Structure 1
Amino acid sequence: MSSTPFSALACPLDGKPMQRQGRTWRCDAGHSFDVARQGYTHLLPVQHKRSRDPGDSKAMVAARQRFLNAGHYAPVADAVARAALSARPGNGQLRCLDAGCGEGYYLRRLAEAASKRETALSLLGLDISKWAVLCAARQEHAVSRDRETDGSNWVVASNAKLPVQDGALDCVLCLFGFAVYPEFVRVLEPGGVLIQADVGPDHLRELREIIYPSLKPEREPSRTTPNGLARRDVETIRFPLTLSEPQAIADLLMMTPHFHRASAEGRERAAALDSLTVTIDVRLTPFVRLADNGARDG
């Protein structure tokens, strides 16, 4: 597999293309952004923040890192990698963005799958949490010290304003994250693929039954297809997962929104568990980016 640093970054202030000059990204208007020594670039201007430290906390990122690196969601990652690699244009390089990359697990698994197929890659991981991006950059550097991982592949930024040039991508991943469809359409070239992962109605049901007094009826998923995209067939990834250590159960809870939604009593009930079997229920939906004058189907 050959892998090249992602080069189609756009200035988060004015949207102009940026060029790499040493350890700095610059646009023609003179805006510049330094590559941190840890191997990522901060492209989230203070005026675009809604809080002082947006996104997942350091503790949440650490919990997700432990949980995912243990392989508990490997079937989900494998399905994502298969879908992403199918978006490769002919025999060309796959240019893929993980919009909400967290600590980089799914991009690392994609890179592993691509290496087995000798598929060329240009990857960009983006998250609004600086702790997540820092963790992703450090893990990649630790795994592949001889690979060029000098900040081109990891950025702190927001899905609401992607620092990516128009039509620069073959694939966008939005995995359990904040989907901003107009931005995804803008950065995908026609024929490019958005792969969206959402939880199904039974996802973590057994854990939710423990931490909540009762479960609310599940909402029907929206079948509305966003403008500029064509929906393809949904793939369901469903399997039982047994966690036999209290730390793994705690990590699972902390990496989900349920950690903050549950009461203190609910979290205590989860903390008292020695083992737990939960249902993993994930829906993977591909969308194809239409040509500007294309007709929607699916």
Structure 2
Amino acid sequence: MLICPICQSALTEHENSVCCIFQHSFDRARQGYFNLLPVQHKKSRAPGDNLAMVQARRDFLSAGYYAPAAQRLATLMQERQPQRWLDIGCGEGYYSAHIAQAIPNSQGYALDISRDAVKQACKRDAKTTWLVASMARLPLASNSCQAITSIFSPIDWAEAERVLAPGGAVLRIGPHSDHLLELREKLYDKVYHYDDSKHLQHVPVNMQLIHSETLRFKLTLDEAQARENLLAMTPHGWRASTEKRQAVINHPLTTTVAIRYDWIEKMEDK
């Protein structure tokens, strides 16, 4: 299932490491993950979210504020029952753990480019194979997964298509155009509409949208720390001015959560 990020040969597990036929070897970290992101594939010394961002997301999600979104994800995956699945951009593992719980007899893989995030993710579920790796170079064999999930994460569609088995699908989860609308109205002088279906323009020709839905609910944050965590885990935390961010932190907030779910299936071979 796993392939070497250097030569793309199959990786075989040996005690506490994985190794390919060309003797490229990767040890399992103390926390339980494999680091399959070679230094030559990094764009910075410590890519991805830093520890402060990871902790903010962990605390916010663990408090259950996005629980309806995770529950809907778990239900959709449970309906499809993939034997092997991959969660890309898994962050600190909140959504991956919901998938693993929903389909306990499956084999799950989850990866993120941030080592700080994956270290935290290992605490969520011991059965899932946690990886530090890049979506642009997935360390998984071609045609090996029945489902790939992408939750608020970019997708390299060519890599997704390669890794998916025929009939497999990407469950892409992202913001609807009115996601966090009231929050954005407090942070910016002008709120711009964006096309929440734009990602479909990049779907490969042999993949097709088979189902789409939107989940909406109101989110009330009475605690300042929760509002601060929400800002820290979204791009709005660094896009908005310091003054407007602080104003949000200082006052209770009710905002709309609007999340779009798309099943995009790889067509069967003829």
Give the structure-2-normalised TM-score: 0.95
Deviation at 1:281, TM superposition (A): 0.4
Tell me how far apart the structure 2 counterparts of residues 87 and 165 of structure 1 sit (CA, whole Å).
21
Root mean square deviation of aligned Cα: 1.5
- Deviation string 1:212-267 (CA, Å, 9 cap, x unpaired) is 12212323632434233111121101110111111111111100111111121221
Q: Select the residue among 185, 208, 211 that pairs with 2:184.
A: 208
Contact 1:87 1:170 in 2 (8 A): no
Identify the residue that residue 23 of structure 2 maps to in structure 1: 30
Tell me how far apart the structure 1 counterparts of residues 136 and 175 of structure 2 sit (CA, whole Å).
22
Identify the residue that residue 186 of structure 1 maps to in structure 2: 162
Secondary structure at the aligned position of 1:282 is classed as: strand
Tell me how far apart the structure 2 counterparts of residues 43 and 168 of structure 1 sit (CA, whole Å).
17
Tell me how far apart the structure 2 counterparts of residues 198 and 227 of structure 1 sit (CA, whole Å).
21
Q: Select the residue among 125, 129, 132 that pairs with 2:110.
A: 125
Contact 1:211 1:265 in 2 (8 A): no
Identify the residue that residue 279 of structure 1 maps to in structure 2: 256
Identify the residue that residue 144 of structure 1 maps to in structure 2: none
Identify the residue that residue 230 of structure 1 maps to in structure 2: 208
Ranges of 4+ aligned residues in structure 1 off by more than 6 Å: none
Letter in 1 for 2:78: L
Contact 2:175 2:196 in 1 (8 A): no
- Alignment gaps of 5+ in structure 2: none
When structure 1 is superposed on structure 2, of 204-213 and 126-135 the one drifting more is: 204-213
Tell me how far apart the structure 1 counterparts of residues 72 and 116 of structure 2 sit (CA, whole Å).
26
When structure 1 is superposed on structure 2, of 48-57 and 220-229 the one drifting more is: 220-229
- Deviation string 1:103-129 (CA, Å, 9 cap, x unpaired) is 111121122223xxxx51111110000
Task: Give yes or no for the alignment of 1:196 onto 2:172.
Answer: yes
Secondary structure at the aligned position of 2:208 is classed as: strand
Identify the residue that residue 246 of structure 1 maps to in structure 2: 224
Secondary structure at the aligned position of 1:226 is classed as: coil
Secondary structure at the aligned position of 2:211 is classed as: coil
Aligned ranges for residues 1-40 of structure 1 at < 5 Å?
A: 8-40=1-33
Contact 1:228 1:292 in 2 (8 A): no
Identify the residue that residue 172 of structure 1 maps to in structure 2: 148
Secondary structure at the aligned position of 1:251 is classed as: helix
Letter in 2 for 1:122: Q
Deviation at 1:59, TM superposition (A): 0.6
Deviation at 1:292, TM superposition (A): 4.2
Identify the residue that residue 243 of structure 2 maps to in structure 1: 265
Tell me how far apart the structure 1 counterparts of residues 248 and 172 of structure 2 sit (CA, whole Å).
29
- Name the % identity: 41
Secondary structure at the aligned position of 1:284 is classed as: strand
Deviation at 1:133, TM superposition (A): 0.3
Tell me how far apart the structure 2 counterparts of residues 191 and 85 of structure 1 sit (CA, whole Å).
16
- Alignment gaps of 5+ in structure 1: 1-7, 142-148, 294-298
Tell me how far apart the structure 1 counterparts of residues 237 and 15 of structure 2 sit (CA, whole Å).
42
Secondary structure at the aligned position of 1:12 is classed as: coil
Deviation at 1:138, TM superposition (A): 2.6
Give aligned pairs, total: 268
